[in-house]
């Protein structure tokens, strides 16, 4: 089918002009656009109440789809979080528990799972590999992606003005700001691949670590916030970073519209983990209270570390203006994207997440289940289990029980008031821990 014909038919189908006329199966498959921010706090976006800076493109997309008040990352730092998104498996099952770990070759990503359905998959932005036992690492091209552009490892993935990036396996010189570079590449990819279904994983590095932005963006926010050092206005820079990313996302969405693909594209947006209050952030997330109204941060299993801003949008398929208030886990992303693309999950992959496409479209209820987390690296010893509104949080062996709906700030442990749930979650957590799979070599 020619580019023009496919775009034209998609426009007609979206407008209802074609009625019941059957389109080719490949045409009916949606494009999949997964946008991931980096260290973006739950309270850093307008659709979650941020007013100190605008995020108009994200807010518009959120209003056109369903926002999630309880979307949880599967991990609280970069590499494990991304491994869980890619594989649909918990950290203790996919071999990536810390930032230095790399995905074993045996793990199946959503890009690999979509390939038999005719999808072209691209990674633009941050991959964040660790290392295999022999010191090597697996490139995204080794795990289902057909093209890549961006950072491969963590050593440079906080540089917002990089001198080089990787295009495929080749390091190439670049000039510009990451949010602009990655948005430009995404616009180009959409235009070049409009004739067949694609899966685009667009992984920005805003608002990760180095707090810096282009001068034209800085000019919009200088003087709007108190600063420790007015010569290096970090609080203004933090706002500028997020605003610049939002503008880039707006350009990507316009590219979908201009290519006639907006009606047939499923868009998912979230962050890899909560905002950080660590030294490289220079106090900006702390000043802006980025994880508000929650307690905790990156490297914590408190709500501020794992509850993320998120929405899904698919015109005519996912209800617009809806807020979803039940717990969604990022391991659900992989099986849901694969299902949306017409694929199925092989039981041999032992995926932990579940396909919730019918939940997103309003056709089904989310099944009751218990969700789990662990963070036992870099000197931390934390675990969590959640069922419904109840969350068991274990810190250095001490257990606390919270009702997240009634007490989202995790201020009042209620173990004594709910002994049966307390015992149940402790037992389920121990059983889950015992299911850990030895890391593949």
Model pLDDT for residues 262-308, shown as the tens digit of each residue: 999 999 999 999 999 888 888 999 999 999 999 999 999 999 999 99
pLDDT at 406 over 50: yes
pLDDT at 18 over 60: no
Neighbours of 213 (CB within 10 A): 26
**Percentage of the chain exceeding pLDDT 90:** 85
Whole-angstrom distance, CA of residue 376 vs CA of residue 334: 24
For the chain, first and last CA: distance in Å?
44
pLDDT at 21 over 50: no
In order of start, what are the domains of the chain with their CATH numbers? Answer: 31-368 (3.40.720.10)
Report CA-CA distances (Å) from 196 to 3, 99, 136, 139, 261: 8, 35, 34, 24, 10
Q: What is the mean pLDDT of the chain?
A: 92
Q: What is the pLDDT of residue 91?
A: 97
Q: What is the pLDDT of residue 441?
A: 53
Q: What is the pLDDT of residue 2?
A: 43
Region 406-435: mean pLDDT is 98
Q: What is the pLDDT of residue 5?
A: 43
44 CB-near residues (< 8 Å, 6+ apart): 50, 207, 242, 275, 288, 290, 309
pLDDT at 155 over 80: no
3-class DSSP assignment, residue 320: coil
Report CA-CA distances (Å) from 259 to 25, 77, 193, 254, 335: 19, 36, 10, 8, 27
Q: What is the pLDDT of residue 440?
A: 62
pLDDT at 6 over 60: no
Region 96-110: mean pLDDT is 92
pLDDT confidence band for 17 (50 / 70 / 90):
very low
Lowest mean pLDDT among 15-29, 127-141, 211-225, 390-404: 15-29
Provide the b/e sequence for 376-396 (b: ≥16 CB within 10 Å). ebeebebbbbbbebbbbbbbe
pLDDT confidence band for 135 (50 / 70 / 90):
low
């Amino acid at each position: 089918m020619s580019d023009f014909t496919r775009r034209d038919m998609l426009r007609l189908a979206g407008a209802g002009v074609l009625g019941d006329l059957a389109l080719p199966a490949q045409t009916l498959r949606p494009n999949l656009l997964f946008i991931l921010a980096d260290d973006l706090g739950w309270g850093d976006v307008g659709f979650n109440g941020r007013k100190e800076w605008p995020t108009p493109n994200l807010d518009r997309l959120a209003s056109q789809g369903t926002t999630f008040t309880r979307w949880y990352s599967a991990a609280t730092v970069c590499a494990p979080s991304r491994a869980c998104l890619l594989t649909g498996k918990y950290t203790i099952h996919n071999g990536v528990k810390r930032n230095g770990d790399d995905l074993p070759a045996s793990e199946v990503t959503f890009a690999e799972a979509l390939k038999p359905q005719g999808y072209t998959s691209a990674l633009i932005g941050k991959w964040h590999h660790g290392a295999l036992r022999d010191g090597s690492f697996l490139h995204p091209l080794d795990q289902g992606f057909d093209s890549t552009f961006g950072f491969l490892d963590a050593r440079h993935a906080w540089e917002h003005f990089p001198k080089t990036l990787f295009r495929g396996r080749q390091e190439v010189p670049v000039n510009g700001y990451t949010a602009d570079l990655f948005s430009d590449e995404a616009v180009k990819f959409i235009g070049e691949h409009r004739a067949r279904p694609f899966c685009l994983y667009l992984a920005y590095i805003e608002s990760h670590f180095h707090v810096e932005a282009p001068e034209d963006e800085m000019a919009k926010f200088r003087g709007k916030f108190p600063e420790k050092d007015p010569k290096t206005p970090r609080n203004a820079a933090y706002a500028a970073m997020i605003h610049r990313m939002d503008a880039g996302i707006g350009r990507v969405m316009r590219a979908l519209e201009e290519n006639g693909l907006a009606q047939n594209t499923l868009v998912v947006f979230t962050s890899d983990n909560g905002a950080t209050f660590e030294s490289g952030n220079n106090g900006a997330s702390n000043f802006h209270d980025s994880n508000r109204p929650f307690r905790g941060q990156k490297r914590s299993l408190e709500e501020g570390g794992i509850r993320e801003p998120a929405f899904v949008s698919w015109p005519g398929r996912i209800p617009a203006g809806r807020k979803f208030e039940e717990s969604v886990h990022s391991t659900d992303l992989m099986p849901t994207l694969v299902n949306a693309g017409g694929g199925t999950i092989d039981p041999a992959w032992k995926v932990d997440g579940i396909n919730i496409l019918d939940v997103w479209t309003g056709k089904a209820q989310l099944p009751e289940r218990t969700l789990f987390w662990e963070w036992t690296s870099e000197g931390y010893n934390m675990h969590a289990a959640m069922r419904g509104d109840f969350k068991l949080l274990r810190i250095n062996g001490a257990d606390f029980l919270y009702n997240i709906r009634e007490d989202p700030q995790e201020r009042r442990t209620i173990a004594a008031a709910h002994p049966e749930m307390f015992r149940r979650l402790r037992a389920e957590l121990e059983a889950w821990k015992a299911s850990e799979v030895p890391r593949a070599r």
